[in-house]
Amino acid sequence: MYFHYCGIPILIFFCERVKIYRRNNAISHNKLLFQCFYNRCSAPAYHLILEGILILWIIRLLFSKTYKLQERSDLTEKEKEELIEEWQPEPLVPLVSKDHPSLSYDVVTGPPSHRIIVNGKECINFASFNFLGLLDSERVKLKALSSLKKYGVGTCGPRGFYGTFDVHLELEERLAKFMRTEEAIIYSYGFATIASAIPAYSKRGDIVFVDEAACFSIQKGLQASRSFVKYFKHNDMEDLERLLKEQEIEDQKNPRKARVIRRFIVVEGLYINAADICPLPELVKLKYKYKVRIFLEESMSFGVLGEHGRGVTEHFGVNIDDIDLISANMENALASIGGFCCGRSFVIDHQRLSGQGYCFSASLPPMLASAAIEALNIMEEDPGNNIYIHKNKCILPSSLIYGGFCRTPGLKTVGEPLTPALHLQLENSTGSRTNDLKLLRAIVDYSLDRQIALTLARYLDKEERFLPPPSIRVVVTVEQTQEEMEKAAQCIREAAVKILK
């Protein structure tokens, strides 16, 4: 009875509330739809057009086929064979004439020491980079021979895979001590030394300022680094500073990005393509002024410049700690094979993990490492008789031959009197690089017939960033006498008069 009088009114009350709730929700839903439609109509026209295009594109993708079968007609076996016979593949490389200068070789018999046998003729060697005459040293040969008997010919493994021998560690220690740096690292190939060192430090996004006359191994290192390269005019410090100032202004626009970009200056101590010395003191000033790092390639100046042969740093009296990395090969003054880098320990240790030529190439044969150690011993024991510059015995012939070449008609001498490798270029080009090379080659052949061995400077014409003009390279060593220098200069003058008339 209680439920009859109380429960029924309560049930009726709840039913009424549900009807009101549903009616209100319907009104709210209609309002929401109307509001959305109104907002859509009031949107900008370009927005509506863009949405319409997207809707049509989606509908097209849903109903279009993924691909179309291409109509083709099957070929008969005979037609296939005819097409195969007619097809000619494109050559992998451009065709080269068989009389190209790079394909004609001067064959050497015996050691390329002071006296060299070229094409069966004994000549005075003005072509090899045997600056200190250690190539034919009996002490060096005996040391290499004893090492050959002990270790064998090669190593058959990189340094990290059973390719590290005790003589490698000894040579690295000796080189670091000789150069007065904390540590040194050796490579088994001279060309790969600087070409591996640059990309070990400079990566994509970093900036490298490079001299236009930089050698080919530096160019390959820059290419491998994928860094942003800015070239400055050869030995032009004003042009270099201009580039550094421009970069400084660019860095101020985005300081956050500038903080993570590394900047390097890469130069040679003694340029192989220009035969002159870099202005290292000015480079060091720019280094500290603009906060950049200096990489110094000293393959031509190691063992040559400086009182003890330590290179361009000793030549100018520059503190070697001001140079972030020094690289040189052991194929010139030390008369061995391979190269080395030296500097602070944390800089060198990084190459042991990142230097491609160090990590992936078979290590230097122990007999060549032993030969380099013995060559260092000779340099340290008697520097006065072996160092090229700052000793009267060596500087006199270099200046004499430089002066003799300056009087050669039709040829101009490129380089400085103190450099051991000079270039002789045509004063007036024929307008054709091939013809210029033929004229210079005729001078080389004329000299070779008269027992003077010279060589043309060779370049990869299509690979060089700044291709140097054709030239004859003349190398002066400590073994050549004053009479031999005068004979060579006289022979070249006669050849120039006869061939360039």
Closest among 341, 333, 342 to 371, alpha carbons compared: 333
Number of residues that this document lists for the chain: 501
Interval 354-384: pLDDT, tens = 999 999 999 999 999 999 999 999 998 876 5
Question: For the chain, what is the radius of gyration of the CA atoms?
Answer: 37
Please report, as a single letter, which amino acid is at residue 430.
Answer: T
Enumerate residues 6+ apart whose C-beta is below 8 A from 162.
none
Enumerate residues 6+ apart whose C-beta is below 8 A from 302.
269, 309, 310, 311, 328, 329, 332, 333
Enumerate residues 6+ apart whose C-beta is below 8 A from 172.
183, 184, 185, 186, 340
Provide the pLDDT for residue 417. Answer: 82
Q: Where do the domains of the chain lie, and which CATH numbers do they carry?
A: 101-135+387-500 (3.90.1150.10), 153-381 (3.40.640.10)
Please tell me the pTM assigned to this model. 0.79
Residues of the chain with pLDDT under 70: 1-43, 65-73, 101, 383-404, 406
Q: Rounded to whole angstroms, how far apart are CA atoms 336 and 318?
A: 27
Contact 417, 402 (CB under 8 A): yes
Between the two ends of the chain, the Cα-to-Cα distance in Å is: 142
Q: Which alpha helices (DSSP H) does 64-165 contain, by range?
A: 77-86, 138-151
Query: C-alpha 294: how far from its chain's center?
Result: 15
Q: What are phi and psi of 329, to 5 degrees?
A: -100, 165
